[in-house]
């Protein structure tokens, strides 16, 4: 397994040496907001909505001044925007009440905030502060299973397997590598196996050829 995983991540990293989150933001707070908005929505759609929003809002207090109705107007093109607007307003109030408006850099503190789950906290800390945490979204779940580096019946199981199986040297970039690979190559429908840099090591690609 270790040899297989090393081959996978070595090839992905050689192909994409500096993988990064594609969400756009201006500071810690706006990045956290963007991550909350990205649930079940493409980064491209989120960036389109947040460009004008983040030109006006850069802090929890700014968001509370804007108000939930004002926020809805900016994010109404995004899926589940009503519930996300409420999450963001609650999150903003929570940040002010508990952390003086500053986003904590601690996983346990982050998940105590309203609207912030394990995935959101891990994406924030990994992307913003390069912490060796692996967040599992639909792309990571699919790609990890197809590559046989972490297989589980649900996201929690796959997260546990990835944390256990992925060598420390790859952990800061593992999530981004798998997300980008899933977004552009190992897609849910019609994966581009002929363009895949890890096809030679992929049980799923071998089965399809």
Q: Which two tokens stand for residue 93?
A: 């109030």
N residues, the chain: 209
Q: At what angle do helices 118-129 and 168-184 cross, to 10 degrees?
A: 110
Is 137 a known active-site residue? yes
Helix (H) or strand (E) holding 73: helix 60-75
Q: Are 149 and 157 in contact (CB under 8 A)?
A: no
Q: Dihedral sign, CA of 48, 15, 139, 30?
A: negative
Q: Which of 28, 84, 98, 119 is catalytic?
A: 119
Is 69 a known active-site residue? no
CA separation for the pair 128, 12 (Å, rounded): 21
Short-list 122, 163, 120, 156, CA closest to 141: 156
> ∠ CA(49), CA(55), CA(61), 5° rounding?
100
Q: Which of 84, 137, 171, 173 is catalytic?
A: 137
Helix (H, G, I), strand (E, B) or coil at 25: coil
Catalytic residues, which ones?
119, 137
């Amino acid at each position: 397994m270790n040899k297989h995983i090393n081959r996978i991540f070595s090839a992905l990293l050689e192909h994409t040496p500096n993988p990064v989150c594609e969400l756009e933001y201006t500071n810690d707070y706006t990045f956290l907001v963007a991550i909350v908005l990205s649930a079940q929505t493409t980064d491209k759609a989120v960036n389109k909505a947040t460009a004008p929003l983040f030109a006006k809002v850069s802090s929890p207090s700014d968001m509370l001044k804007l108000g939930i109705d004002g926020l809805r107007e900016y994010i109404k093109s995004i899926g589940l925007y009503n519930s996300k607007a409420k999450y963001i307003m609650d999150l903003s109030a929570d940040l002010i009440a508990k952390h003086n408006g500053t986003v904590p850099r601690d996983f346990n503190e982050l998940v105590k905030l309203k609207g912030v789950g394990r995935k959101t906290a891990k994406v924030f800390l990994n992307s913003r502060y390069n912490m060796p945490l692996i967040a599992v979204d639909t792309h990571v779940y699919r790609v990890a299973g197809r590559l046989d580096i972490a297989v589980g019946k649900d996201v929690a199981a796959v997260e546990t397997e990835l944390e256990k199986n992925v060598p420390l040297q790859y952990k800061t970039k593992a999530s981004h590598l798998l997300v980008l690979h899933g977004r552009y190559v190992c897609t849910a429908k019609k994966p581009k196996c002929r363009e895949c840099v890890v096809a030679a090591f992929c049980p799923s690609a071998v089965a399809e050829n």
